[in-house]
Amino acid sequence: MTNGDWRKPLSSTHGWSPYTWINGPIARQLGISCGKGMINNENNKKFARFIDFAMLNIGGYYIKENRMGTFGYLTPWSFSEDEKACLEVDWNPYHVDKGFHLNDNTVTAASAMFWGSELTPQSDDSEQLKNVIAFDITEKQQNSLGNTNPQVFRAMLLTENIAKKLKTKYKSKSEYEDALINTARRPIWLRVYAHYWANTGGTLYNRMTLEKHYAEIIATENEKAKMTDVPIWYKKMLNSTEKIMTGATMSKGNTSIVITGYSPMNTVQILPDGGFKTIKLELPDNWDQLMNELGYEPLKNFYLGKEDEDKPHIIGPVDVRDILKDGQYRIMRNAKEVNSRGKIFANITTGIVTYYTSDSGKAIEITNQALAFIISSLGTSSSIKVASGIINEYIILPSSVSSDIQKDASALDANVFKNANIIISTNQRTPDGSSIVLSSTINCVKFELEGEIEILNGNTPRILNEK
């Protein structure tokens, strides 16, 4: 609750209400519902009531002082993701996509301005489902008429029935999000009209004409305005053979997709949000003993799946836009060496990543299991390069590995390296016997070599420069 991204909308005159969802076996142990009528389940309501008490007694939010909603606020709500349904659908649970283990316990805090305006798509076709959900997204903005930036955070709650139908075409939540981004575009005129006449706190009509504001909006890079086909839901209203100017309503990484709710129903709940914050729940060592005294089964009775306990499951290119600025980062031996720009260190045990930011002139610590695992796997003196908020280059130095240790890059799923350069760089300091094992699905890697290298039996990706 102290995270700035989570806190910032809560004092607005709009009715931002905080809520949470819980992942991991603890949700099943405590009976946090993800089924029919979930937010009214008694155990769910206990967590929701806690949010209200915590905002007042810990956060210091007081109505009419710094909780300024014109029409007030909804009561907070809480629920869990249906992780059994996620495994059935073969889409990762939310916390796994964030780099946590399947059986880690996490809580995600968010905030939204309404609840219950659900969509009920009536189709078994994945393409039509995607289209009607995209239509709903363009109709639901943070503020009325979407007068502020339309590319907002959103939580998308899908029932298992909807997720299964979408999975027939989209292999992952991330792939489904990409399809929505391309489809959920809004005629730019609607955006301009709303921003001109209903901009919160704005008086644009006193300073410029509507036509001039139109020109400004389409010239603004963040609007991502361009000529596109007419959105399918407008085809009978507009000349569908012509192209029109549309703007984006979604940005990659801003939509949290959660499988939850009454499984047999075709239901989608889309909530324009104010931001998300996920943390791992650290339980006391005597948790099972304490829970046994209250009549609960041991936590492990609620574990799911057979997972590799040594590493988190990571899917897709690693998004660090809210963590690292663009540039190259060299991996250091310890946190003390992170004393200037471009240096980074990760503690794989705690998940703490230490990096240096020139803005503050000091090292910053954040907890990110996925990023910590990647940095630790690459090893000291290796480096990563960030461009547009995505890690797009990995330089791996075997010289950082002692002769009796095998540097195992196969620990990283090949999807992590998607659209990224992989460079194996050696020099005279490379110990004899050092080796790198690449993921079986990596098909291309670049070597920058000094001295000799031996290609052993096993995976041999195509080598770009065969010197």
Residues listed for the chain: 467
pLDDT above 70 for 170: yes
| pLDDT one-digit tens code per residue, 129-150 | 999 999 999 988 877 777 778 8
Give me the pLDDT at residue 407, please. Answer: 44
Lowest mean pLDDT among 22-31, 395-404, 457-466: 457-466
**pLDDT-derived band of residue 1, with 50, 70 and 90 as boundaries?**
low
pTM exceeds cut of 0.85 = no
Segment 407-433 shows an average pLDDT of: 62
CA distance 198 to 204: 9
Q: Which is higher by pLDDT, 7 or 80?
A: 80
Sort strands 421-425 and 444-448 into parallel, antiparallel or unpaired.
parallel
Average pLDDT, the chain: 82
Domain boundaries, the chain: 327-463
Tell the burial category of 328 from Cβ atoms under 10 Å away from its Cβ (0-12, 13-18, 19+). middle
| pLDDT one-digit tens code per residue, 250-297 | 988 899 999 999 888 899 999 988 788 899 999 999 999 999 998 889
CA distance 379 to 388: 24
- Using the CB atoms, write b or e for 120-156: b if 16+ within 10 Å: ebeeeebeebbbbbbbbbbebbbbeebbbebbbbbbb
Q: Give the CA dihedral 346, 349, 351, 357, nearest 10 degrees.
A: -30
Q: Which is higher by pLDDT, 260 or 75?
A: 260
**pLDDT-derived band of residue 239, with 50, 70 and 90 as boundaries?**
confident
Looking at the chain, the number of H-run helices and the number of E-run strands are 12, 21
| pLDDT one-digit tens code per residue, 325-359 | 889 999 998 898 998 889 999 887 777 899 987 66
pLDDT above 70 for 402: no
pLDDT above 80 for 168: yes
Give me the pLDDT at residue 79, please. Answer: 96
Segment 381-385 shows an average pLDDT of: 88
Q: Which is higher by pLDDT, 393 or 187?
A: 187
CA distance 374 to 386: 14
Is the sign of the CA dihedral 203, 208, 209, 212 positive or negative? negative
**Closest of 47, 31, 274, 336 to residue 149, by C-alpha:** 274
Greatest mean pLDDT among 51-65, 381-395, 402-416 lies in 381-395
